[in-house]
Structure 1
């Protein structure tokens, strides 16, 4: 196989992005766009000279690999159907909405010899910056990711924990380890029926902590990370590109030359893995920890105080 037959499930904003990557890739042929709204699928498909589908089973028949960019509540179901149809799968984060479901999907894909990759593009950014290459285990990871509500209620089918915090949960799991010993979390609803603002603190057996805050109801955007190591600390403001680094390790914020397109890098890595040319850059088993953390954080919030506005 010299080219991968790729289909994109979801004709929204991210489906459009992924379709652009497949259409432009030398390793892929874009075979079609699936959406429950056939008119929307056909409209996006027409842009790329391909076919729109509203029948998922028929869509899967023409694909070697599927990119799933639909609302999070449908990730598990569509990924499972695609794997059972012997397709490779790249699914946007989160992989599933429970740790058990995420692990089961990863196991099923492995058993069938299929690539199952998750859209944690922030890993590419952190890796290019040098953060993931630091050999020390952090004492503390602090992250803030907040901003106004997304236009049109995007990602409103799940809480901000699954929508925004999931990025930092994944990075924290990579830096601190996959097994946390405890979690405390608070949150509130603001403009949706789900948690729109949340704070979570995870503790680890080695003494490390992850303190994460996410909001989709803030007046202004904020995206920062602070990581404290035995040798020093790193403070990053991703919006202003300001960096404070007192560790002995090199960390960069200007990575545009090395990583101009994180989404494109993720998709190309997926195509290469499906074609047997490389390993998947974000294999599913390595993302189960973030799902388990999100599940625990949401349960802690829901078990807490009144969530009313």
Structure 2
């Protein structure tokens, strides 16, 4: 049985998912919707299916829906899909504050449908190598440093506007918060220093995280760094060992005092593969077929929002904030 799938939001990431799903023989791209009807029509012409006149029309025709709309609309659109009883793949971030995340998580759990959050970095080959090293005990993380910079807040032209993005940490840095919890588990507390260089929004963060395991990590994220390579990086240190990533291009590691450095290079893979998009979409369709559970759940999405909001509270108050001690101000 073909899974009739719709895409809401015909921008860049919507086109990425459509291009991947169009190659999956288990999927029929049925319908597309965008508030700019011409963009939906362009996608329909390229991938088949048709441009729906409304989300409601799309929901009548589809069994599963990819939500690829701007950050501030994720809860509203995903709720409509859930209320229609359809399966959901929603791009990151899951939500933009804890109240929204709570509502959406609770509704997703009650719905009984598949709900997957688009944290694609988990499926990038470089991060799969790192995850496997941790899970196999080849690497026991004892100390961590990470960075996730943006080159600018210029393109797309709305990316600086927190009323549309939810704030800088919900943009590119959201990936690092998901990976931190994916690799190292639950965070115990954070301590954050942050300041603003443009637009009156915090865009320069120095973050200290302590995990329940006792592991401590530092994270730097700055919004105006240029796209100097690598703008994204993990350095994970064990006892006489180091694993180091270079964006999604390659990973190098050294184990033991006299060991040589080993490098796995994925630079020749397509962007869709090395950024993890192909695997996350395949796993979503696997979940539709009952082969496996959704690999990134509503609970996972909620945990990332909680961590980001904890960081914002620490930055505002200039104090250490424990996970679960958030003051809700919505």
TM-score past 0.5 threshold: yes
| Residue of structure 1 equivalent to 2:178 | 170
Q: Can you list the C-alpha shifts for 1:266-306, whole angstroms capped at 9, x where unaligned? A: 111111101212222222222322111111212333445xx
Cα distance in structure 1, aligned partners of 2:129 and 2:263: 5
Q: Which moved more, 1:74-83 or 1:45-54?
A: 45-54
| Residue of structure 2 equivalent to 1:90 | 89
Q: Can you list the C-alpha shifts for 1:8-55, whole angstroms capped at 9, x where unaligned? A: 111111111111122221111111111112222222222223222342
| Residue of structure 2 equivalent to 1:307 | none
Contact 2:144 2:218 in 1 (8 A): yes
| Secondary structure of the corresponding residue to residue 152 of structure 1 | coil
Q: Can you list the C-alpha shifts for 1:152-176, whole angstroms capped at 9, x where unaligned? A: 3264422221111111111111222
Q: Can you list the C-alpha shifts for 1:86-120, whole angstroms capped at 9, x where unaligned? A: 11111111111124433442332232211110111
| Residue of structure 1 equivalent to 2:243 | 234
| Residue of structure 2 equivalent to 1:182 | 190
Aligned residues: 302
Contact 2:123 2:275 in 1 (8 A): no
| Residue of structure 1 equivalent to 2:56 | 57
Deviation at 1:239, TM superposition (A): 6.8
| Secondary structure of the corresponding residue to residue 24 of structure 1 | coil
Q: Which moved more, 1:235-244 or 1:193-202?
A: 235-244
Map residues 29-48 of structure 1 onto 2, 5 A cutoff.
29-48=28-47
1:237–1:104 CA distance, 2 compared to 1 (3 A)? same
Is 1:218 the counterpart of 2:225? The answer is yes
Root-mean-square deviation (CA), in Å?
A: 2.8
Q: What residue ranges of structure 2 are gaps of 5+ in the alignment? A: 319-330
Contact 1:99 1:289 in 2 (8 A): no
| Secondary structure of the corresponding residue to residue 305 of structure 2 | helix
Cα distance in structure 2, aligned partners of 1:46 and 1:285: 36
Q: Can you list the C-alpha shifts for 1:174-228, whole angstroms capped at 9, x where unaligned? A: 22222422332313242x4543332322223443222222233112332221112
Aligned pair partner of 1:266 in 271, 277, 280: 280
Deviation at 1:77, TM superposition (A): 1.3
| Residue of structure 2 equivalent to 1:200 | 207
Deviation at 1:230, TM superposition (A): 4.2
Map residues 58-73 of structure 1 onto 2, 5 A cutoff.
58-73=57-72
Contact 1:71 1:155 in 2 (8 A): no
| Residue of structure 1 equivalent to 2:150 | 147
Is 1:131 the counterpart of 2:142? The answer is no
| Secondary structure of the corresponding residue to residue 253 of structure 1 | strand
Cα distance in structure 1, aligned partners of 2:303 and 2:51: 35
1:194–1:279 CA distance, 2 compared to 1 (3 A)? same
Cα distance in structure 2, aligned partners of 1:184 and 1:54: 45
Q: Which moved more, 1:2-11 or 1:196-205?
A: 196-205
| Secondary structure of the corresponding residue to residue 151 of structure 1 | coil
Q: Can you list the C-alpha shifts for 1:52-82, whole angstroms capped at 9, x where unaligned? A: 2342122211111111111111111111111
Contact 1:160 1:198 in 2 (8 A): no
Q: What residue ranges of structure 1 are gaps of 5+ in the alignment? A: 305-309
Is 1:160 the counterpart of 2:174? The answer is no
